[in-house]
């Protein structure tokens, strides 16, 4: 058994079933193991950012890691932006980067580069060089353990070509399950006391606090104390819809966050960070917690976050109180002008049961979230790290993780152009992904930001850099060229018809919305 085979078998033994890849010559022995180890499924992507984003989407939905397979430093570079998003989502990923044979590196062949420096930026907690076929299996176990945490992370394993091809591979036993996270009773007690004072309070929920049970406990706490619930602006995954506790996200713009926190005396962090402005702006604050507000930590990323919320509800005597869940209800199918609002209403009218929404819609998808609040329960995946182009790959990964669930990809035009190669992988695998493409012919968020930053002299030569027209991009044409069924909608009625058709179409499809 060569090193590559021992690596593949070890990953399978750990429960890793999928490898999203864009391989090159140095990875050919690992690719060849796909026939020897059929329990590991290879998914080809045409660009590394698709592979890494798909691993992120897979990990968020499956709650266990996929592997990636990238080609040396440049391949890792191409995958870096979505690994950055995955780092912010704390998604477990075993990120395998092929490298030259160990003895070949000193020759500085054209593809030689500093993989470690690049990897550290997204894998600060775990970068390991596999040193020998005898030990690459053990390295994979450690990478898997690091990836699953808690907290979850991107764990990078660099795989030299000769470590893959040389014999002597050993498959170690899978690791013990990760330690059971615990509840810190003192923190629970302190938070209960703070909330019990009846002063204005906000409970800020992050990644670990946004599943249905945690939300129900949080709602009971809010009901018992008068505290307000909020979630971080860009969580990795939120379960929402009828029968689930709904929670408002903090706004994107700092001044709106400041307004919503004005007068708050207690901010309780539940696997969340104190809110800060997404970007800095002249004469606007970065730190958004109001002066005089006490910040309390209930639970962090390595704690039992739902357990801490349940214990808090119990301490407050509210653990049997009803949770304030969202009522069932859908908007009517809209008519008339096609706007972000009417698109949202059509989504609310038609979102399938158990849908997964991959949201990379930037300025255009706010209404969609509002209008789907009463739809049957579904999961919403946000852009965690601000690196646009996350949406289509995350949709790929979510669909691979959950083949029985429909995926809706809410996608801005500018952001789509970073990772449109994803559509081809959707077509190859016949994934049930419906892309709603908001075509407003611009980086709309940047037109807002150009004003907000107060830049002097931003005239036509500046705004030209934010304009996606001239030529207009034909997104239906792009989608069809990559194997999707596609429609273009110009009225609300058309969009309702096209969206229904797209959702009913097996395999991937796209509806382009001309705004």
Within 52-81, the residues that bind a copy of itself by CB under 8 A are: 73-75, 77-81
Among 14, 31, 54, 345, indicate the residue that binds a copy of itself (CB under 8 A): 31
Q: Which residues contact 437 (CB under 8 A, 6 or more apart)?
A: 411, 413, 416, 475, 479, 510, 511, 512, 513
- Cα separation, 408 vs 445, in Å, equals 22
Q: How far apart are the first and last CA of the chain?
A: 57
Shortest spacing between CB 31 and a copy of itself, in angstroms? 5
> Segment 109-148, which members bind a copy of itself (CB under 8 A)?
109-111, 113-115, 117-118, 120-122, 124
Shortest spacing between CB 186 and a copy of itself, in angstroms? 26
- Residue 256 is a binding residue for a copy of itself (CB under 8 A): no
> Segment 381-410, which members bind a copy of itself (CB under 8 A)?
384-387, 389
* Residue 57 or 334 having the CB closest to a copy of itself: 57
- Cα separation, 390 vs 374, in Å, equals 26
User: What 3-state class would DSSP assign to 226?
Assistant: coil
- Residue 506 is a binding residue for a copy of itself (CB under 8 A): no
Q: How far is CA 142 from the centre of its chain?
A: 24
CA angle 167, 173, 176 (to 5 degrees): 150
Q: Which of 92, 60, 11 is nearest to 396 (CA)?
A: 60
* Residue 321 or 448 having the CB closest to a copy of itself: 448
- Side by side, the strands of the sheet bearing 18-21 are 41-44, 18-21, 66-71, 93-99, 154-160, 127-129
- Residue 301 is a binding residue for a copy of itself (CB under 8 A): no
Shortest spacing between CB 209 and a copy of itself, in angstroms? 18
- Residue 248 is a binding residue for a copy of itself (CB under 8 A): no
Q: How far is CA 355 from the centre of its chain?
A: 15
CB under 8 A: which stretch of 57-65, 128-136, 403-411, 461-469 binds a copy of itself?
461-469
Among 15, 39, 63, 108, indicate the residue that binds a copy of itself (CB under 8 A): 108
- Residue 291 is a binding residue for a copy of itself (CB under 8 A): no
Shortest spacing between CB 127 and a copy of itself, in angstroms? 11
- Cα separation, 346 vs 341, in Å, equals 9
- Residue 296 is a binding residue for a copy of itself (CB under 8 A): no
CB under 8 A: which stretch of 177-185, 304-312, 326-334, 418-426 binds a copy of itself?
418-426
Shortest spacing between CB 424 and a copy of itself, in angstroms? 7
Structure-token match 């399978």, residue found: 12
* Residue 79 or 392 having the CB closest to a copy of itself: 79
Structure-token match 């079933």, residue found: 17
* Residue 191 or 269 having the CB closest to a copy of itself: 269
**Which two structure tokens, joined as six digits, stand for 96?**
């395998």
Task: Please give the sequence-ordered ranges of beta strands (E in DSSP) within 100-176, or none if there are none.
Answer: 127-129, 154-160
> Segment 153-172, which members bind a copy of itself (CB under 8 A)?
161-162, 165
Shortest spacing between CB 345 and a copy of itself, in angstroms? 29
> Segment 424-453, which members bind a copy of itself (CB under 8 A)?
424, 427-428, 445-446, 449-450, 453
**Which two structure tokens, joined as six digits, stand for 246?**
């709904």
* Residue 85 or 225 having the CB closest to a copy of itself: 85
- Cα separation, 405 vs 408, in Å, equals 10
**Which two structure tokens, joined as six digits, stand for 53?**
């984003």
């Amino acid at each position: 058994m060569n090193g590559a085979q021992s690596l593949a078998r070890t990953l399978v033994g750990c429960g890793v079933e999928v490898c999203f890849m864009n391989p090159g010559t140095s990875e050919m022995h690992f690719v060849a193991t796909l026939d020897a180890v059929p329990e590991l499924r290879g998914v080809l992507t045409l660009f590394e950012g698709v592979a890494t984003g798909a691993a992120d989407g897979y990990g968020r939905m499956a709650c266990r890691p996929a592997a990636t397979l990238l080609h040396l430093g440049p391949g890792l570079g191409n995958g870096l932006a979505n690994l950055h998003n995955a780092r912010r989502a704390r998604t477990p990923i075993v990120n395998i980067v092929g490298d030259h044979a160990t003895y070949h590196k000193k020759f500085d062949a054209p593809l030689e580069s500093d993989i470690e420096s690049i990897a550290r930026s997204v894998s600060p907690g775990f970068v390991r060089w596999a040193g020998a076929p005898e030990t690459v299996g053990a390295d994979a176990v450690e990478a898997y353990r690091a990836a699953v945490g808690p907290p979850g992370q991107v764990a990078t394993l660099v795989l030299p070509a000769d470590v893959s091809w040389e014999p002597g591979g050993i498959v170690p036993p899978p690791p013990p399950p990760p330690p059971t996270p615990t509840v810190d009773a003192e923190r629970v007690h302190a938070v209960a006391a703070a909330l019990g004072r009846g002063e204005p309070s906000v409970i800020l929920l992050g990644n670990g606090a946004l599943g249905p049970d945690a939300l129900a406990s949080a709602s009971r706490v809010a009901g018992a104390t008068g505290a307000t619930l909020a979630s971080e602006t860009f969580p990795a995954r939120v379960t929402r819809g009828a029968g689930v506790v709904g929670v408002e996200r903090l706004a994107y713009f700092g001044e709106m966050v400041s307004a919503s926190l004005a007068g708050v005396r207690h901010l309780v962090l539940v696997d969340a960070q104190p809110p800060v402005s997404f970007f800095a702006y002249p004469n606007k604050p970065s730190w958004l917690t109001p002066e005089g507000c006490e910040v309390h930590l209930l639970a962090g990323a390595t704690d039992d976050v739902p357990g801490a919320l349940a214990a808090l509800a119990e301490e407050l005597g509210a653990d049997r109180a009803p949770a304030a869940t969202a009522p069932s209800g859908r908007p009517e199918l809209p008519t008339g002008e096609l706007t972000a609002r009417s698109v949202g209403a059509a989504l609310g009218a038609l979102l399938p049961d158990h849908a997964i929404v991959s949201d990379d819609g930037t300025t255009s998808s706010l209404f969609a979230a509002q209008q789907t609040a009463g739809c049957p329960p579904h999961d919403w995946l946000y852009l965690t790290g601000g690196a646009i182009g996350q949406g289509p790959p995350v949709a790929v990964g979510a669909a691979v993780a959950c083949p029985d669930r429909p995926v809706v990809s809410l996608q801005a035009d500018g952001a789509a152009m970073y990772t449109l190669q994803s559509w081809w992988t959707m077509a190859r695998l016949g994934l049930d992904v419906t892309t709603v493409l908001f075509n407003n012919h611009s980086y709309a968020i940047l037109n807002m930001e150009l004003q907000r930053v107060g830049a002097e002299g931003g005239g036509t030569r500046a705004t030209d850099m934010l304009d996606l027209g001239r030529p207009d991009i034909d997104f239906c044409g792009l989608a069809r060229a990559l194997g999707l069924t596609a429609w273009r909608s110009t009225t609300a009625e058309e969009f309702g018809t096209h969206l229904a058709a797209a959702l009913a179409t097996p395999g991937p499809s796209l509806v382009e919305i001309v705004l």
